Amino acid sequence: MIGFYLTVVIVILMVAYAGVENTRNLFIYINLQLRYFPIKIKMEMMKRKLRRQLDIDREELMKRITEDAKTN
């Protein structure tokens, strides 16, 4: 119960200090950051997967280049 009262007091103090509009903007910003966090994780996983795939493709390309150089 103390946590609830503490949260309410913090919100009231934020409204008193910054105003309703800026407090609302802060909560919107926090909401957007929380929504963006899983997307950043997915992007990082996609980046790792793509980097691994490109490394394999580059190694295969280098093998083909060396084979073509040997045959010529």
Contacts of 58 (CB under 8 A, 6+ apart): none
The pLDDT value recorded for residue 72 is 66
Tell me the three state secondary structure of residue 72.
coil
Spatial distance between the Cα atoms of 49 and 72, rounded to a whole number of angstroms? 35
Number of H helices, E strands in the chain: 2, 0
Average pLDDT over residues 40-50: 96
Write down the H helix ranges in the chain. 2-18, 20-71
For 48-72, the pLDDT digits (tens) are 999 888 888 788 888 888 888 887 6
pLDDT on residue 2 = 94
Instruction: Report the predicted TM-score, pTM, of the whole model to 2 decimal places.
Output: 0.62
